[in-house]
Amino acid sequence: MSFAGSSMIDPFGRSISYLRVSVTDRCDFRCTYCMAEDMAFLPKKDLLSLEELDRLCTVFIEKGVKKLRLTGGEPLVRKNIMHLVRQLSRHLESGALEELTLTTNGSQLARFARELADCGVKRINVSLDTLDPEKFRTITRWGDLSKVMAGIEAAGAAGLKIKINAVALKGFNDSELPEMLRWAHGRGMDLTVIETMPMGEIDADRTDQYLPLSQLRADLERRFTLTDIPYKTGGPARYVEVAETGGRMGFITPLTHNFCESCNRVRLTCTGMLYMCLGQNDDADLRAPLRASEGNELLSNAIDEAIGRKPKGHDFVIDRRTSRPAVARHMSVTGG
Ligand code: SAM
Ligand code: SF4
């Protein structure tokens, strides 16, 4: 049975058209704000196969999803990930899906850029918090900046549009952001900065890392002319144009400026759990209905039931009195 033409509307009237899929919670980096060094990952036996992920995504597309982002963990370390990308690209060809994209740390991009472009991927997000190789090693614990740079180069050469995402970290990259802005815009890439979110136990204290973007923007405005623009990519960033560079800069501000009222997203984990909000614990098991029958009706009903529970918003706070993360799971489980 196909669910084509139906659409998913949550209790607050928001239409759900964007699915993010964490294809693995594993990663070849250990960014200090994202993971503890010694991480416990989801048991391999609970992983959905690539075929199961494809089936799940297909049902979401039939139910109205127009934009699909693969993320993780690091999506490009999932074994045979290109098989899934190629399978999903049929929905681009049919027109059912408007955009297939991914968020990556770039470490494996040099290997996969051309094939991604060949599968109809047009734009990708590459996470990069610093241009300094030493600082890069410190923040990612295990990463090698030269590999990421080679990945960015390869992606550009393959014709992919690249957006750089940087988590704004107090005392770490705040003073470097003007340079990163010039670097990204000089290469035709947008740069988006993100406030660090209280997800999962990490080894560091988030209060020390947290930099409100209202403060960062005020600092940048001493050097650059920033003009708000209505540009949208379907995600939560609000954009400005930077007169001096002619490029675009995005701000993702879950803490200082809540954007939940326009949320169009849900998130699927690699074990088939659906999270209706990044900042809440409520989830729905889609693996059981997926495996219970060969048809997709049970699955479709479970998705409808879950969307009917999508909460109004998150309640992230970072301050000295709130030492526990808002949600216990790490960002790598539900993806960024
Ligand atoms: N590994 C890929 C990457 O780094 O791009 C994809 C997954 S990663 C979890 C997605 C995004 O979430 C990255 O841009 C990362 O910087 C961001 N991120 C991770 N933990 C975060 C946190 N606690 N607060 C804000 N952003 C976070
Ligand atoms: Fe890995 Fe991305 Fe998390 Fe860094 S932010 S540890 S690259 S999942």
User: What DSSP assignment string belongs to 201-217?
Assistant: --SS-HHHHB--HHHHH
The pLDDT, as a whole number, for residue 5 is 55
Q: Identify whether 127 is part of a domain.
A: yes
The closest of 94, 166, 85, 86 to 125, measured between CA atoms, is 166
Q: Please name the helix (run of DSSP H) or strand (run of DSSP E) that holds residue 34, with its range, or none.
A: none
Longest Cα–Cα distance of the chain, Å, equals 60
- Most informative mutation of 22, 28, 125, 194 for ligand 1 (most atoms within 8 A of CB): 194
pLDDT tens-place string over residues 252-262: 988 777 778 88
- For 67, 108, 190, the CA distances from 152, given in Å and listed in that order, are 22, 10, 13
The pLDDT, as a whole number, for residue 192 is 97
The pLDDT, as a whole number, for residue 68 is 98
Q: Identify whether 261 is part of a domain.
A: yes
- For 9, 120, 123, 164, 210, the CA distances from 255, given in Å and listed in that order, are 25, 34, 27, 20, 10
The pLDDT, as a whole number, for residue 200 is 83
Q: Which residues of the chain carry a pLDDT beneath 50?
A: none
Residue 74, ligand 2, Cβ within 6 A: yes
Q: Identify whether 4 is part of a domain.
A: no
Query: Do the beta carbons of residue 248 and residue 242 sit within 8 Å?
Result: yes
Residues with Cβ within 8 Å of 68's Cβ and at least 6 positions away in sequence, in order, are 18, 19, 20, 21, 57, 60, 61, 88, 91, 97, 99, 100, 101
Q: What share of the chain is helix, strand, coil (3-state, %, to 5)?
A: 35, 20, 45
Residue 103, ligand 1, Cβ within 6 A: yes
State both tokens at 308: 């009917």
Q: Identify whether 10 is part of a domain.
A: no
Q: How far is the CA of 101 from the centre of ligand 2 (A)?
A: 17
Q: Identify whether 9 is part of a domain.
A: no
CATH code where residue 49 lies: 3.20.20.70
Which protein residue's CA is at the shortest distance from atom 3 of ligand 2? 34
Q: Identify whether 255 is part of a domain.
A: yes
The pLDDT, as a whole number, for residue 300 is 97
Q: Are strands 283-285 and 273-275 parallel, antiparallel or unpaired?
A: antiparallel
Domain that holds residue 71: 18-334
Q: Identify whether 149 is part of a domain.
A: yes
The pLDDT, as a whole number, for residue 3 is 67
Q: Identify whether 250 is part of a domain.
A: yes
Domain count, the chain: 1
214 Rama sector, left if φ>0, alpha if ψ -120 to 50, beta otherwise: alpha
